[in-house]
Copies of this chain bind each other. A is one copy, B any other.
């Protein structure tokens, strides 16, 4: 069994050849609500290693997020998909998904409590180095990880992929301790200019360590190949997907030093 070596120091492919990815469904609680997350790690590695929380899109925890967790495990991280909605709450269509995402976006305190419960599970995992933790999220999850940062979470960084950036409490920007990487579609019609401006002010005013990349030609959900996500304003973009994943890996290389 070999020790964890950061992926950016390992030869391309070397880890994946020997990797033995283990996945587990994990039940946990926030208050009285039962949540069902998903853990993935490489059992061929020994020792503590960085942990990455993965927060789902508006459809709840699906195969998409699980696959991302497995990709992160291939890179040597312990990945845990949080469940914000609750065990068994997995919307089947966009109307229900929109209502659920809207519920949590309108109740940021509850959203923070739910994502923090997921973070706790990850932090307490015996394989995780608690000083090296990040959170990533897609769409609704991209909003959620920034909300986690705004809660003052003591983690190394968050990466938001095509997430909404609005905040009902911009003063909470002062609580942000971690680094923030935002990855956005330059043509995302769901990204309101006024939200972007407010977000930039929030980061600037609070001297947050942040950066934002806009991918040309990319609209909403640019990392999501599932055809169910395609509509007039959302579409998979392979190039932006690959570039943003690489940027995330670079970010991890920096924050997990």
Contacts and interface: CB of A to CB of B under 8 A. Distances in A.
Nearest to A244: B211
Nearest to A13: B9
* A: contact size bracket: 20 to 34
Taken together, the copies of this chain in the complex come to 2
Contacts of A212: 186, 213-214, 216
Interface in A208-257: 208-217, 239-240, 242-243, 246-247, 250, 254
Given A209-B239, A211-B240, A212-B213, 18 more contacts: A9-B11, A11-B11, A186-B200, A186-B203, A186-B204, A186-B210, A186-B211, A186-B212, A203-B216, A210-B217, A212-B214, A212-B216, A213-B213, A213-B214, A242-B254, A247-B247, A247-B250, A250-B250
Nearest to A9: B12
A187 interface: yes
Contacts of A214: 211-213
A183 to B, nearest CB: 10
B217 A209 contact: yes
A243 to B, nearest CB: 7
A203 B187 CA distance: 11
Nearest to A8: B12
B12 A211 contact: no
